[in-house]
Structure 1
């Protein structure tokens, strides 16, 4: 279906294509595109792929606590992501190795609270064991 966007005074100069597709849960999605060279299925797959990328970045922000990228170069951004992933994995390993019932967030906060204390004291505290 072809549509125009905007009001009569500020209408977009181009025509767009309205697609109605079903998501994996059976919900109808309305997608607007200016791509006339692709089928509805191809547009739906592109949207699905883009949504997966958005979810990945949401996970990065939530779990790796990357709020912004500090580097200007591609290698610098890669390094920041690698470092954040290493920190995340170390926190998860701390949780697993101590059989802690604390969440990742609680462990992360404990480790950030006093980085000058010796690691074995914190790991024992995380595990819920008494510290000698």
Structure 2
């Protein structure tokens, strides 16, 4: 059983979405289809999802979904992303040494000397050394803490992009219009934030990938995430 509460997180999102604003593909179902695609590792395409839905009582086709992607407002996805992003906390705890200086990088005769910043992660007791050409003094000076933050944010972007592409299907854009592509990016980010927020039984682990696998195992007891979402909203 999910501890912190994937169903409650999802219900908090879906309750605010209208179900009667469009005759065929309402806003809630549109959102559910996108989130299902991002989270469901068993789906290789959106067409697979719609075939599953059509065979189990959902009377909506993929052409309607494709048309919706070209003109539906991104506002719903933006608002959900912003609300989730406010909840997710940043858990980085880094502390830097005061020692800075220059170090020669490389063994060649023309090797350059650069500024080196040393710092450590107190939680993992891991030491890091960053080599940078950012100046330590002058009008454009950048201090150690700023370099730490720049590196942390830059590396965080790399890890985020890797996870979105490998696990939340952002490696393949399924629409050809800018509006649909933007919606897909928002949905992948929403799914990522949900994974950060949800808690799972300890025996499954604690990483985002562990959470992703646990939710997939729960979903496999259902027909699809859409079916599971609809179940949640009435619980």
With normalisation by structure 1, the TM-score equals 0.52
1:35 aligns with 2:134: yes
Distance 1:74 1:49, change over 3 A: farther
- Give the 5 Å matches for 1:1-132: 1-9=101-109, 11-12=110-111, 14-25=112-123, 26-36=125-135, 37-68=141-172, 77-82=181-186, 84=188, 103-106=214-217, 107=219, 111=224
Distance 1:21 1:60, change over 3 A: same
1:34: how far off? 0.8
> Aligned equivalents of 1:63 and 1:78: distance in 2?
18
3-state SS of 2:106 partner: coil
Distance 1:46 1:74, change over 3 A: farther
Aligned CA-pair RMSD: 3.9
Cα deviation 1:25-63 (Å, max 9, x = unaligned): 232111111111211111111112222222322331243
The higher radius of gyration belongs to 1
3-state SS of 1:66 partner: coil
1:24: how far off? 4.1
Distance 1:77 1:31, change over 3 A: farther
> Aligned equivalents of 1:28 and 1:18: distance in 2?
13
Aligned length: 101
1:83: how far off? 5.2
In structure 2, list runs of 5 or more residues that go unmatched.
Answer: 1-100, 136-140, 196-212, 229-235
Larger relative contact order (CA 8 Å, sep ≥ 6): 2
Distance 1:85 1:45, change over 3 A: closer
> Aligned equivalents of 2:102 and 2:175: distance in 1?
43
In structure 1, list runs of 5 or more residues that go unmatched.
Answer: 93-101, 112-118, 124-132
Cα deviation 1:71-105 (Å, max 9, x = unaligned): 8987564233235568x59xx9xxxxxxxxx8434
Structure 1 stretches of 4+ moved >3 Å: 68-77, 82-86, 102-108
